[in-house]
Amino acid sequence: MRRSKGDGDDDNNHKTSTVRKRDQRRDRDHDGSGIDSGNLQDNDDHVNRREIRSKYRDLINSVQQNREDMLNPSNNMLTEVLEEANKLFKDVRQAREAALDAQLLVVATDLGKEKASQLCAEGSSFDPSAFAEHLLSFMGLNRLEDAQNGQQNGGEGYLPDDAWDRVARRAECCFKTAPTFHYMLGSFHAEPPPPKQRTERQIRAPNKEAKRIMPTQLKKMEESQQEATEKEVERILGYLKGYYKEDPTAPIPYYEFVIDPNSFSRTVENMFHTSFLIRDGLARMYLDDNRLPCIAPAEEGGMEDGASTSRKQGVTSISLKTWKELIEAFDITDTMIQPLNVSQTE
């Protein structure tokens, strides 16, 4: 914001009276007609103005840096700064310097306000250090004669442990604090129980061992089952061949062969094993003149013939009732196929 039209235009009527007075003074000094005679004056102005601005900035800095000192009521430093500012302002012509002047005024008045507040000395003054000392005594400070290092309170002594509790108790009555809300029995903790993991690990070990035992046992059982059947079938074949040898002409009735009058279950087993013989072509069944089934071991050479001739299938079944009837009908008193365990014990 420029008040004058040109730099150093002295004849401008818009200037304030103080500035006009200054201009007149300058005119007197410079022995000019009032119109600036050219570049020389411009340069001087620049230099002067720079100087003025620099001085203003110095003043502002001094106020800010030495704030504490200036606040002290014992000196007049602030007043000196203001007087200095007044002197500088006499040479101010342009807005730029005036702005700096305004800034200095703001800073100075701020300080002045603070100083004034200190001056409200109606009533006793308050000294923070005295306050601190009294407070420490209240807290129960044990002052030591000689200054100890590494203690609290700057080496003046040591406070009891409940020092701050004392202050707090005294302070509580000054506060209208709302009591804080807490559940009476506390809250629950959501944590996974550690024992659970331990039991899991303990159980795991026996499981593994048990599994290891199992396969070995199973294998044994399977073998015995297969062997037993094969052995039994062979044994029966042996019986059959033995009976046939005794009398090749006499036919062996099927039912007399398989039935065990002492045990129904063994009869069924005998029928089961005999069927293997027939299936494998090691024995043959035929009907005799009375149309009763008979069994005979197959001739060695006849195996191939048996394969070429048509195969016949039959299903035999027996029930308890039928078994008893057969025993009566054929008058079977003893079994032709001796049971396994009996023969073993004998």
Question: Using CB under 8 A as the criterion, which residues of the chain lie in contact with another protein when the complex forms?
Answer: 64, 67, 106-107, 110, 117, 120, 122-124, 126, 128-132, 134-136, 138, 152-154, 164-182
CB 69, min distance to another protein, A: 15
Residue 104 burial by CB count (10 A; 0-12/13-18/19+): exposed, middle or buried? buried
Q: How far is the CB of 145 from another protein (least distance, A)?
A: 19
CB of 183 to another protein, least distance (A): 10
C-alpha distance from residue 138 to each of 50, 158, 167, 271 (Å): 59, 13, 8, 115
Nearest approach in angstroms of CB 130 to another protein is: 7
User: Of the candidates 283, 294, 292, which has an alpha carbon nearest to the alpha carbon of residue 241?
Assistant: 283
Q: Round the CA-based radius of gyration of the chain to a whole number and report it.
A: 66
Amino acid at 190: A
CB of 161 to another protein, least distance (A): 9
Cβ neighbours of 276 (radius 10 Å): 17
Element holding 216 (H helix, E strand): helix 195-246
| Shortest distance in whole angstroms from residue 108 CB to another protein | 10
**Residue with smaller CB distance to another protein, 187 or 319:** 187
Give CA separation, 265 vs 240, 254, 273, 323, 343, in Å. 20, 17, 12, 10, 17
Shortest reach from residue 135's CB to another protein, in Å: 6
Which CB sits closer to another protein, 68 or 191?
Answer: 68
- In sequence order, what are the residues at sequence separation of 6 or more whose Cβ sits closer than 8 angstroms to the Cβ of residue 155? 147, 148, 149
Q: Which is nearer to another protein, 181 or 188 (CB)?
A: 181
| Closer Cβ to another protein, 183 or 290, answer by number | 183
Residue whose CB is less far from another protein, 177 or 224: 177
Nearer to another protein (CB atom), residue 132 or residue 144: 132
Residue 21 or 170 having the CB closest to another protein:
170
Question: For residues 190 and 202, what is the distance between their CA atoms, to the nearest angstrom?
Answer: 25
At which residue do the structure tokens 């293997």 appear?
Answer: 276
250 Rama class: left (phi>0) / alpha (psi -120 to 50) / beta: beta
CB of 169 to another protein, least distance (A): 5
Among residues 91 and 110, whose Cβ is nearest to another protein? 110
According to DSSP, the β-strands at 283-287 and 142-143 are unpaired
Q: Which helix (H) or strand (E) holds 321?
A: helix 320-330
